[in-house]
Chain A
Amino acid sequence: MKIVFTMQGDGRDGLTDRRFGRAETFLVYNSETDERQLVANTAVDAAMGAGLKAAESIVALGAVALVTGECGVKALHALHRAGVKVYSTDSTTFADALEDLRQGNLREATSA
């Protein structure tokens, strides 16, 4: 199962980004193999609709879930249409966010 986390910079520092569409990097975590892969977010500089473009990208990466700070209403709607679960986290590091997800401490974002 692939889970995408939004990361600051190139993601190597392990710091999460609260933003989805404007996060620089996606960390794709494979929960079966524990593999982690860093992928640049090509939507980061989009004039408009960065969240939608990013949604398209993570679905193409095979994500079934997204862990981020805030996800806008349009991106959330799109991700739900694609069957991707969206979790909100306040954790500032990937390690903490992953642990919270494992413990079932993250709340799932729902459409307003």
Chain B
Amino acid sequence: MKIAIASGKGGTGKTTLAVNLAVIAGRSATLVDCDVEEPNAHIFLKGDVAATETVSIRVPVIDENRCSGCRACVEFCSFNALISFGGPPLFFPDLCHGCGGCRLVCRSRAISEVTRPLGEVRRIDADLCILVEGCLEIGVSSPVPVIKAAKAAATGDFVIYDAPPGTSCPLVATLRGADYVLLVTEPTPFGLSDLRLTVEVLRQMNVEFGVVINRAVRSESLIHDYCHHEAIEVLGEIPEDRRIAEAYAAGRLIVDALPGYRPLFRSILEACLERVTA
């Protein structure tokens, strides 16, 4: 079973929810930190790195002596990683997705491939669960292959994906294959705006989802009103509580620092499991 935790807006509490749910679920749970541009679940789930794997793609190298300047590779590349001013093409590795198509369409056999490292996947045996963390190399702008590799490295029956913020390719790559998605939001106009965008993505992907409101205050019904109107279930509310912020800032799990919140996280987890098995 695979549950993803997403939000759209950054800083709403995805990682907070993800690490606490993983710990509540216990030793059989694997948490995958898919926020590969800034993985931080390891701050809360401490342990030794048990295995490291390099993630790379194959990118083209052009033999200028063989190239006929026919532009077949340039026309083929949808990401404009290859351009030509008439002669052999110029290659821009940042834009390359490593599909290998340019090599296949080259009639002069002028294109070979080399490996370009994009990042790393680390498996950490934390005390309370297993953590798989994707980490993008500095300066690299294509996180998707690292996210896919991190997800593939997660074994075990119960997996939680901690998604990156945003609603573009990295989010879609994280959500693919998830049985259920928890959307974490906060009762602010920014939280609501990004929640709407993420709901649109999820509806297009046809994945089941529910909402968890973080930093909830009783006087603010913004998110409830929206969810009611859209017939979206609210599975739980983490209240605005200064002690939670203090625990977080100290790198502590809420379920450890404030055991009174354990039943809340357990009920969110159980609600998820029910929705998946129903």
A interface, CB within 8 angstroms of B: 43, 46-50, 52-53, 55-56, 59-60, 74, 78, 81-82
Contact at B92–A52, with CB atoms within 8 Å?
A: yes
Q: Which of B64-104 contact A (CB under 8 A)?
A: 74, 78-81, 83-85, 90, 92, 94-95
Inter-chain residue pair count (beta carbon < 8 A): 36
Can you report 13 A-B residue pairs in the complex whose CB atoms are below 8 A from each other? A46-B80, A47-B79, A48-B79, A49-B83, A52-B92, A52-B95, A55-B83, A56-B83, A56-B84, A60-B85, A78-B90, A78-B92, A82-B85
Contacts of A60 in B (CB 8 A): 85
- Minimal beta-carbon separation of B98 from chain A (angstroms): 14
Report A59 CB to chain B, min CB distance, Å: 5
Asked if A81 and B90 make an inter-chain contact with CB atoms under 8 angstroms apart, the answer reads: yes
Q: Which of B80, B81, B92 has the largest number of chain A CB atoms within 10 A?
A: B80
Q: Per a CB cutoff under 8 Å, which of B83, B85, B94 touches A53?
A: B83
Chain B residue at minimum C-beta to C-beta distance from A43: B80
Contact of B80 among A50, A59, A81 (CB under 8 A): A50
Interface SS majority for chain A: helix
**Contact yes or no, A74 B85, CB < 8 A:** no
B80 and A52 form a contact (CB under 8 A): yes
Number of residues from B at the complex interface, CB < 8 A:
12
Query: Do residues A56 and B85 form an inter-chain contact, with CB atoms below 8 A?
Result: yes
5 A-B pairs with the lowest CB-CB distances in the bound complex, closest first: A49-B80, A82-B85, A56-B83, A48-B79, A49-B95
Contact between A53 and B90, CB atoms less than 8 A apart: no
Instruction: Provide the residues of chain A in CB contact with B90, threshold 8 Å.
Output: 78, 81
Distance in angstroms between the alpha carbons of A81 and B92 in the assembled complex: 13
The docked-state distance in angstroms from the alpha carbon of A43 to that of B79 is 11
One of A43, A49, A59, A81 near B81 (C-beta < 8 A)? A49
Task: Tell me the complex Cα distance, A59–B84, Å.
Answer: 10
CA distance A81 to B64 in the complex (A): 15
When C-beta atoms are compared, the residue in chain B nearest to A82 turns out to be B85
Bound: A82/B74 CA distance, A: 16
Q: Which chain A residues border B74 with CB–CB below 8 Å?
A: 56
**Residues of A with C-beta under 8 A to B95:** 48-49, 52, 74
